[in-house]
Amino acid sequence: MHHSLIIAMVFVATLSFSACRAGPSGPQVSVEDAWSRPVPAAGGNSAIFMRLVNGGSEADQLLGGVSLLAGAVEVHKTTMEEGVMKMEHSPGLEIPAKGEVSLEPGGYHVMLIGVNRALQAGDTLPITLNFEKSGEMQLEVQVREVK
Amino acid sequence: MLKTRSNVKQAEPAASLIRWPALVGLIALLLTACQSYQFKGTQYPDSQLAPDFELAATNGERFQLSHQQGQVVLMFFGYTSCPDVCPTTLAEARRVLEGLGEDADRVKFVFITVDPERDTPETLGAYVTAFHPAILGLTGAPYELAAVRQAYGIFAEKEVLEGSATGYIVNHTARTFLVDPQGHLRLSYAYGTPPEDILEDIRHLLG
């Protein structure tokens, strides 16, 4: 066999092995259908709801985020105990491997704390979400009329 | 009608003429009784007058519950820094008010703050009217608000969230109360009750 052919084969083999390693391992998180509620005046709080889908083979965690339009962005969970509404600051929300998590009214939400201007239905809100493994993800959130 | 042996055979045809319509009438009566209105909300067992109170309303007036006779009053306790449960409930209130059409004049929805420290009348007013112009925010001195909560069995507790920019949150009972046009505390609704259910109950009470 020619040397160049062997080298080519080894090259292709290495390439395909490294491709195998980089591809499916690690989390693959995407954000779907992110929307938030309107806020009537600056200084108020709001909640962002979304679906977090992880197509990867490793779990990841949503830690929080930042936005130029709010003082702070945190993950919170609403809980109801015997008719009493409570809220917890969640240090991280796990998105299982090959799974998804839905942030919905009554459950988890990304809380916008102290918005610096009113948010009206139809506005878009730029926000950066921070994941433990996937790092930072920038997205535009739709402000929707409360139904 | 007395049946004696002598006239039984003669009376029977006449009796049967009465018997069947009577039976039909009785069944019809039973059916209408079964169809008497079933309230969707949780009913208060006795017809008790709703505990009266007077608070400052965000429309600049004083709101006294006992002066609302003739109106259905819906009450919810919450606060404006609440990002999830309170906006959901106020959005449902909007759907109820919109669903009532002209009858919305006969219904008052009041949002009583459990966070007077942060909910100034201006903040509260801007918040509730953003959902619907007819929703009233009610506030007052902390002791006044505490008295109303106690009268209605409402739990509200400040909780500092360590490491959170929210400062503190207020854990509170999330239940909507309905006072009928005669001033009686009639029904309550759990958080998440479909607005259509509340609408039906209101329509029945408005008559």
Query: What residues in A contact B84, CB-CB < 8 Å?
Result: 47, 76, 78, 87, 105-106, 109
Predicted confidence band of residue B173 (pLDDT cuts 50, 70, 90): very high
Nearest CA in chain A to B96: A147
A28 in contact with B at a CB cutoff of 8 Å?
no
3-state secondary structure of A119: strand
What is the pLDDT, as a whole number, of residue B8? Answer: 47
In which residue are the tokens 């015997």 written? A82
pLDDT digits (tens, 9 = 90+) for B89-140: 999 999 999 999 999 999 999 999 999 999 999 999 999 999 999 999 999 9
What is the pLDDT, as a whole number, of residue B46? Answer: 81
How many A-B residue pairs are in contact by the CB < 8 A criterion?
91
Could you say which of B83, B131, B191 has the minimum Cβ distance to residue A80? B191
Nearest CA in chain B to A121: B130
Predicted confidence band of residue A8 (pLDDT cuts 50, 70, 90): low
Could you report the predicted ipTM of this complex, rounded to two decimals? 0.76
Identity of residue B204? H
pLDDT digits (tens, 9 = 90+) for A15-32: 555 544 445 678 899 999
Average pLDDT over residues A65-85: 93
Strand B107-113 to B72-78 pairing? parallel
Q: How far is A99 from chain B (nearest CA, A)?
A: 25
Average pLDDT over residues A67-87: 93
Q: Does the distance separating the beta carbons of A45 and B81 come in below 8 Å?
A: yes
Is the Cβ–Cβ distance between B197 and B189 less than 8 Å? yes
Could you say which of A41, A72, A78 has the minimum Cβ distance to residue B84? A78
Beta-sheet strand order (sheet of B136-139):
B42-49, B184-190, B175-179, B72-78, B107-113, B136-139, B54-57, B62-64
